[in-house]
């Protein structure tokens, strides 16, 4: 019998992120507490740029955006936001969407599988994803459960289970 396998990836649906950004932008334009503070959120190339006239307002815009991401099913682990920086009369906050599993995180996950996972499970790093294989599908299910419980700062998805 051939080995069964699955891939561990960290991907984000960009259309959903764009929808969340548009919803947050609409809410910011309509909410009373954002009137007259110059609050906005928009794409700036691949990054997200948040502007407001105070540090607290910039953080409030970020909170609105995070709530919209959660409603759209996107993990906040995929969002990497900086601190508000003063830029003239306004504060700017930059945020990026992380994709792919970093090399050090992938090594941490393979070590976790080697140390605590079922003995028949093999993991190999392939670029920015991780391929986990085994002869037993039950062992793969146990490996998925172990990885879901792992404390990593990356949003993990399990695809190509066969």
pLDDT one digit per residue (tens) for the chain, 162 residues: 568 999 999 999 999 999 999 999 999 999 999 988 899 999 988 899 999 999 999 999 999 999 999 999 999 999 999 999 998 899 999 999 999 999 999 999 999 999 998 899 999 999 899 999 999 999 999 999 999 998 888 889 999 988
Sign of CA dihedral 151, 100, 20, 16: negative
CB 134 within 8 A of CB 120: yes
C-alpha 78/C-alpha 98 separation (Å) is: 5
Domains recognised in the chain with CATH numbers: 4-11+101-159 (3.30.70.860), 14-97 (3.30.70.990)
> What is the per-residue burial (b if ≥16 Cβ within 10 Å, else e) of 87-113?
eeebbbbebebbeebeeebbebbbebb
Angstrom CA distances, 10 to 7, 121, 155, 156, stand at 10, 20, 6, 5
pTM of the model: 0.86
């Amino acid at each position: 019998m051939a080995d069964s396998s699955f891939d561990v990836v960290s991907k984000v649906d960009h259309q959903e992120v764009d929808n969340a950004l548009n919803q947050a932008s609409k809410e910011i334009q309509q909410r009373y507490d954002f009137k007259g503070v110059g609050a906005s959120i928009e794409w700036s190339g691949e990054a997200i740029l948040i502007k407001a006239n105070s540090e607290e307002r910039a953080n409030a815009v970020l909170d609105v955006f995070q709530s919209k991401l959660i409603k759209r099913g996107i993990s906040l682990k995929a969002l990497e936001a900086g601190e508000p920086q003063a830029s003239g009369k306004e504060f700017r906050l930059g945020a990026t969407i992380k994709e792919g599993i970093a090399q050090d995180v992938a090594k941490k996950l393979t070590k976790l599988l080697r140390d605590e996972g079922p003995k028949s499970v093999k993991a190999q790093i392939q670029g920015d994803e991780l391929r986990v294989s085994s002869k037993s599908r039950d062992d793969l299910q146990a490996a998925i459960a172990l990885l879901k419980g792992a404390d990593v700062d990356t949003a993990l998805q399990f695809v190509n289970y066969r």
